[in-house]
Amino acid sequence: MMTDAELKWTLEDTKTLLNTPVFDVLAQEEVSAAGPTGTYVALEAPDWVMVIPVLGEQFVMVRQWRHAARCLTVEFPSGVRDKGEDPARTAARELLEETGFRAGKLTALGSCSPNPALFRNTFYCFLAEDLTATGAQHLDADELLTYELHPIDEVISAFGSPLFSHALMGTALTFYLQKSFPACPSGQREGFSASASFHPTAEELWKAAGLTGPVDAWCFGGDPDGLAALVLAGKKRATSSAFPLYAVENEPVPRPGSCSVLLDGAGRALCVLRTTRVEILPFGAVTARHAALEGEGDLSLAHWRRVHRDFFTAELAAAGMPFGEDTNIVCEEFEMIE
């Protein structure tokens, strides 16, 4: 068996074969301790930084086209580390640019070589928590991507599928799991939830917001996850509901100052909302301002009327009630406080 000293090679000379915008191709003349010599190709590339944003029990991820593989992928926000830049700064910058979120807490999870056989760079991974939505991405002109929320356990289970195929995302998930379960023997992991250590319950969010009393928790109808994502991104600051159903369901009409916990479609707590304004109007009198605050589609009143006419018609019909232009609608505005 060879020793480590016998396995090592000494670099004698390096020549640049090709310069490209993303990496340089080098030829390395090397000699081994055992005698053989050889020329080996290496790629000099900038360091790569990936950030894992956690929001509730979900990852904030980006969907984009990958030109080399010629396919769409969903992965964590990531990008090139500028020369001399602190990797943590890169992580915060890429998170803000690609998703519009700022991290209140940024933790270095680890670093490694992406492929030591070919690449002469370093991969850094960070965990982003306590996220705050700014409501705006900051993308380059040719950077076409969107961000979306995915349940943590589902991402871990789906890694390696065509949509979750980025190998460095697998490396990032390993760092994430190491932090989640630093000393958990494999035999004790049966039935674990990878999201459990990071995601509060509705009661915990309620308490963290300084609230007492019974927790009021709810989710959107129609598309609960998609609409919740708009809220978390700061794009949706209002909602609407059919006034006649409050009496049917024996529920109080929201009032300014009241708070509630927003849930996703699976009943997981996402954030605490405070109602700031309530107005009850006939459907035909709902304003363009309110439609824009709902943050859906092209933000137009025409889009709002089209979508909500169908939604309220079906919802009221299920309760045996008619819908018309004069049906009263509760127009509620809110802010995210936790």
Question: Which residues, 6+ apart, have CB-to-CB distance to 319 below 8 Å?
Answer: 244, 245, 248
> Number of folded domains in the chain?
3
pLDDT of residue 199: 57
CATH of the domain at 328: 3.10.400.10
* Residue range 282-301: mean pLDDT, rounded: 94
Residue 141 has pLDDT above 90, yes or no: no
CATH of the domain at 71: 3.90.79.10
Residue 55 lies inside a defined structural domain of this protein: yes
Q: Using the CB atoms, write b or e for 210-243: b if 16+ within 10 Å.
A: ebeeebbbebbeeebbebbbbbbbbbbbbbbbbb
Residue 221 has pLDDT above 90, yes or no: no
Residue whose pair of structure tokens reads 């016998």 in the numeric block: 6
pLDDT digits (tens, 9 = 90+) for 272-286: 999 999 999 999 999
Residues 53 and 180 in one domain: yes
Residue 196 lies inside a defined structural domain of this protein: no
Domain boundary pick from 137, 163, 188: 188
Residue 197 lies inside a defined structural domain of this protein: no
Tell me the H-state helices in the chain: 4-7, 87-99, 152-158, 167-180, 202-208, 224-232, 244-248, 288-293, 301-318
pLDDT of residue 81: 93
> Residue 321 — very low, low, confident or very high, per pLDDT cuts 50/70/90?
very high
pLDDT of residue 216: 93
Residues 36 and 54 in one domain: no
Residues 53 and 184 in one domain: yes
CA–CA gap between residue 317 and residue 261 (Å, rounded): 28
Give the CA angle between residues 186, 190, 191 to the nearest 5°: 145
Strands 259-263, 269-282: pairing is antiparallel
Query: Which DSSP state fits 158?
Result: H
Averaged pLDDT score across all residues of the chain: 89
Residues 286 and 304 in one domain: yes
Residue 195 lies inside a defined structural domain of this protein: no
CA–CA gap between residue 215 and residue 73 (Å, rounded): 38
> Residue 14 — very low, low, confident or very high, per pLDDT cuts 50/70/90?
very high
Residue 48 has pLDDT above 90, yes or no: yes
Residues 222 and 319 in one domain: yes
Residue 185 has pLDDT above 50, yes or no: no
- Biggest alpha carbon–alpha carbon distance for the chain: 90
pLDDT of residue 189: 43
Residues 225 and 328 in one domain: yes
Higher pLDDT: 20 or 182? It is: 20
Residues 78 and 183 in one domain: yes
Residues 148 and 181 in one domain: yes
pLDDT digits (tens, 9 = 90+) for 256-274: 999 999 998 888 888 999 9
Question: Which residues, 6+ apart, have CB-to-CB distance to 150 below 8 Å?
Answer: 58, 59, 61, 74
* Torsion of the alpha carbons at 201, 207, 208 and 210, rounded to the nearest 10: 150
How much of the chain, in percent, has pLDDT values that exceed 90? 67
Question: Which residues, 6+ apart, have CB-to-CB distance to 76 below 8 Å?
Answer: 50, 51, 52, 53, 59, 61, 62, 169, 172
Residue 252 lies inside a defined structural domain of this protein: yes
Residues 88 and 101 in one domain: yes
Strands 123-133, 217-218: pairing is unpaired
* Residue range 112-118: mean pLDDT, rounded: 93
Give the CA angle between residues 221, 338, 233 to the nearest 5°: 60
Residue 322 lies inside a defined structural domain of this protein: yes
- Joined together, the tokens standing for residue 46 give 């900038």
pLDDT of residue 188: 44
Residue 110 lies inside a defined structural domain of this protein: yes
Neighbours of 45 (CB within 10 A): 17
- Joined together, the tokens standing for residue 58 give 């979900």
- Joined together, the tokens standing for residue 197 give 């250590």
* Residue range 96-103: mean pLDDT, rounded: 93
Residues 274 and 318 in one domain: yes
pLDDT of residue 182: 59
How many CA atoms lie less than 13 Å away from 109 in the CB half-sphere? 26
CA–CA gap between residue 58 and residue 174 (Å, rounded): 16
Higher pLDDT: 138 or 120? It is: 120
pLDDT digits (tens, 9 = 90+) for 60-94: 999 999 998 888 999 999 999 998 899 999 999 99
| Residue 300 belongs to domain spanning | 202-336
- Joined together, the tokens standing for residue 100 give 């519009």
* Residue range 161-180: mean pLDDT, rounded: 91
pLDDT of residue 40: 95
